Amino acid sequence: MRDFVSGLSSIVANIGAVALFLFRILGQVPQALLRFRLVVHQVHNAGALSLVIVMTCGLFVGMVLGLQGYDLLQRFGSESSLGTGAALALAKELGPVITALLFAGRAGTSLASEIGLMRATDQLVAMEIMAVDPFRRVVAPRFIGGVIAMPLLTMIFIAIGIFGVQLIGVQQLGVDQGTFWSQMRGSVDVDDIMQGLIKGVVFGIACSLIAVYEGYTAEPTAEGVGRATTRTVVNSAVLILILDYMITAVML
Amino acid sequence: MQKGPSSNPMTDNLVEIRDVYYSVGGRDIFKGLTLTVPRGKITAIMGPSGTGKTTLLRLITGQIQPTSGQVLVDGKEVSKLSRRDLYALRQRLGMLFQNGALLTDMTVFENVAFPLREHTDLPEELINHLVLTKLQTVGLRGAAKLMPHELSGGMARRVALARAMVRDPELLIYDEPFAGLDPISMGVVLRLLRKVNDALGITSMVVSHDVDEIAQVADISYILSGGKVVASGSPQALKADQSELVKQFMNGLPDGPVPFHYPAADYHSQLLS
Amino acid sequence: MQQTRATEIVTGAFVLFGFAALFFLVTQITNKDFSVSNNGGYQLVANFENIGSLKVGAPVSMSGVTVGRVESIAYDQDAYKAVVRMHISSQYNRIPDDSDASIMTAGLLGGQYIGVTAGGSDKYFKDGGKFAVVQDALVLENLINQLVASFAGKKSDSAEESK
């Protein structure tokens, strides 16, 4: 029982630390944005370098969705709804969540280990001694880069995914092209896309925050950085799915 | 800025540690530490491993606060400074870290230029001039385009020195500058230490336990042990000091007041049980 | 920090790509009918006893073609009816003013919309015109009540007959 309470209180303390960390970052965001070059560099790191993995996975998720969706709908004679079903699934759930998980794995770990290594080699301390706030110079630009990159990656994933559905559904399995698109257009609202976009932004904030936090607070040893990287992925994944439920429940 | 034995005795010492107590995690690191760092001279801080020499540096740069006592830099108490004043103070000092602590994603040139770019609005030509001058002082002007991972340990440390000097600080702090260097690099660093201190008229503080090296350049040395100063004076005076601890330290004797054996149970009884 | 020029170009391309994807999704995937809304048009009103699950934004169609959208739904406390305002596209300006508006259901389980059946008048609706004839949404409970009532009626009829 005592272990449970102390475990619980350490989780709560952790959440508090992360929240304080976030406020500190937000305080530095305006100035960090003035260093536009830095931010651009980080958007490149977090976003452009994740493009290949996001597009590849988006294509294959779309294709699988096409296959599974067709197989399922065919049992009810509703193959023509493939476009609708797949587009909605991608835009509202699969797109944001899978992109976020991929992001945490690729960009999140990169951020965490970069910052963790700077911590382990005293670079962050050296910066502080040189009277440069590492939050402004290192942490905030990376956070902003992640927050900007995530929604964009999500949109790309969804778009490529729908293309993948179309590739299988229309080209391969014979769903009528016109039916595919018109059914989709008939049932998908701008609201649905917005849901996906909002989730993308929220997940971007969550994943970037966790990544920079774990990196910044990593123990300055080799194992410390490794553990921080692992924690980034695990905590990001859990938080993404929890937030996904909460946002979906609110927006539905 | 006052230099040398000034008319104002208040600011004769750039750094003053007055009866400082500091403990962390239940361990007492400093128990009534008192020392002064006079302007314009090279002061050495020595002592057995674990006596908190690096902690002392962190107290001076304001990274940590003493539990009690005062840490004064240029007459100002560091722990009482606001964040902005602390940052202003830090811009007047330069620190050389044990492993150089160069920023790994930038070239040597960019590393040395870093403080200039962050804190000043100097035009590019002027930055270029300053950086190359400092690199020339440490003998690495030709290495300006290299990345930190392409440098040897000694070279990295020299670049870090150039970076620490680039804004002409009043106080240069060296944290274990000789650790892990080959004799040639060590000689280079020693020479630079003295040259930089005298040519620029600044104050230097060196934390080290390389007794023989330090003796060649220090004007005044302190030996710390048990959380306080146990001996101080010029290197020659310390060499002649007769107290047990100083003798053990200065001559590198394996056993003495700092015991060889980590505290353990009785040897015979442990073997036979 | 090196290849900043190339980095910036790639990043810019990435951002553009992302926005292009968003643009594509919004225009090609959704049913945001850019032609019907915001190009003038006029408003028509219909009062219903029961609108069922009709929503704002639902289509108004004639012969299956979307001619407008439901703009707002309100409740009139004096007349005790639902007031539905519709925005009709300006190109459909020859709707006879004795046409009726019914609330229909798309497909078996689809959303509800307003179906307008043309009347025979040669006067046309103007802005603010009101539908005189309306057909409410079919509500399941009412249907069941009707069914039960008709059974009861048949029973009493046959009971009467067999007397």
pLDDT band at C158 (very low <50, low <70, confident <90, very high): low
Helices (H), B141-210: 153-165, 183-200
pLDDT per residue as tens digits for the range B164-214: 989 889 999 998 888 888 888 888 888 888 888 888 888 999 988 788 888
> According to DSSP H, which parts of C25-139 are helical?
none
Q: Is the dihedral of CA C118, C119, C123, C125 positive or negative?
A: negative
CB contact under 8 A, A123 and B91: no
When the pLDDT of each residue in chain A is averaged and rounded to a whole number, the result is 89
For residue B69, the number of C-alpha atoms closer than 13 Å in the C-beta half-sphere is 23
**Residues in C 6-65 with any Cβ partner in A closer than 8 A:** 7-8, 10-11, 13-15, 17-19, 21-22, 24-26, 28-32
Whether the CA torsion B246, B252, B253, B256 is positive or negative: it is: positive
d(CA A164, CA A170): 10
Residue C88 β-bridge partners: C42, C68
Q: Tens digit of pLDDT for each residue in C21-66?
A: 888 888 876 665 544 445 578 888 999 988 887 877 778 888 888 8
Cα gap B111→A142, rounded to integer Å: 20
> A5: pLDDT confidence band, cut at 50, 70 and 90?
confident
According to the model, what pLDDT value does residue C33 have? 54
pTM of whole model > 0.90?
Answer: no
pLDDT in tens, A195-239: 999 999 999 999 999 999 999 999 988 899 999 999 999 999 999
Of A123, A128, A131, the CB nearest to B103: A123
Average pLDDT over residues C60-79: 86
Interacting residues of B220 by C-beta distance below 8 A, sequence separation 6+ = B38, B41, B42, B43, B44, B232, B233, B234
Question: Confidence band (pLDDT; 50, 70, 90) for B2?
Answer: very low
User: How far is it, in rounded angstroms, from Cα A101 to Cα B214?
Assistant: 54
- Dig out the tokens for B176 from the structure: 């274990």
Asked if the model's pLDDT at residue C1 lies above 70, the reply is no
Residue C2 reports pLDDT greater than 70: no
CA distance A159 to chain C (A): 6
- The model's confidence at residue B11, banded by pLDDT at 50, 70 and 90, is low
Is residue A128 less than 8 Å (CB to CB) from chain B? yes
Q: Is the pLDDT of residue C71 over 50?
A: yes
Give the CA diameter of chain C.
Answer: 104
Q: pLDDT tens across B36-55, in order?
A: 888 888 999 887 777 777 78
Q: What are the distances in angstroms from CA B112 to CA B117, B154, B163, B166, B192? A: 10, 16, 4, 7, 17
Query: What dihedral do alpha carbons B264, B266, B270, B271 form, nearest 10°?
Result: 120
How many angstroms from the chain centroid is the CA of residue C77? 23
Q: In the predicted model, is pLDDT for residue C150 greater than 90?
A: no
Q: Tell me how many degrees the CA angle A46-A123-A116 measures, rounded to the nearest 5.
A: 50
* Percent above pLDDT 70 for chain A: 100
Tokens of A120: 């382990």
Q: A19 to chain B, minimum CA–CA distance in Å?
A: 21
Alpha carbon distances (Å) from B244 to A147, B91, B107, B247: 62, 41, 48, 5
* Chain C residues touching A181 at Cβ < 8 A: 28
As a whole number, mean pLDDT of residues B72-100 equals 86
> At A141, is the pLDDT very low, low, confident or very high (cuts 50, 70, 90)?
very high
pLDDT for C156: 65
Considering chain B, what is the average pLDDT of its residues?
84
At residue C128, the pLDDT reads 86
Q: How far is B107 from chain C (nearest CA, A)?
A: 9
H helix intervals, B78-182: 83-90, 108-119, 124-137, 153-165
The shortest C-alpha distance from B181 to chain C (Å) reads 30
Beta bridge partners of C44: C86, C129
pLDDT tens digits for range A53-84: 999 999 999 999 999 988 888 888 777 788 88
Question: Residue B132: pLDDT above 80?
Answer: yes
CA distances from residue B235 to A200, B45, B231, C15 in whole angstroms, order as listed: 65, 11, 11, 63
Please give the interface size between B and C, counted as residue pairs whose CB atoms are below 8 Å apart: 3
pLDDT of B8 strictly over 50: no
Q: How confident is the model over B96-112, as a mean pLDDT?
A: 88
Question: Where residue B97 falls among pLDDT bands split at 50, 70, 90?
Answer: confident
Whether the per-residue pLDDT at A186 is higher than 80: the answer is: no
Mean pLDDT of A74-95: 86
- Chains in contact with chain A (at least 3 beta-carbon pairs closer than 8 A): B, C
What local confidence, expressed as pLDDT, does residue B232 receive?
85
Greater confidence (C111 vs B74) lies with: B74
Query: Which of C7, C26, C30 faces A44 most closely, judged by CB atoms?
Result: C7
Report yes or no: C2 at the A interface, CB cutoff 8 Å: no
Under a CB-based contact definition with an 8 Å cutoff, are residues A206 and A146 in contact?
no
Q: Are A81 and A209 in contact (CB under 8 A)?
A: no
Of the pLDDT bands very low, low, confident and very high (cuts 50, 70, 90), residue B241 is confident
Going by pLDDT thresholds of 50, 70 and 90, the confidence category of residue A173 is: confident
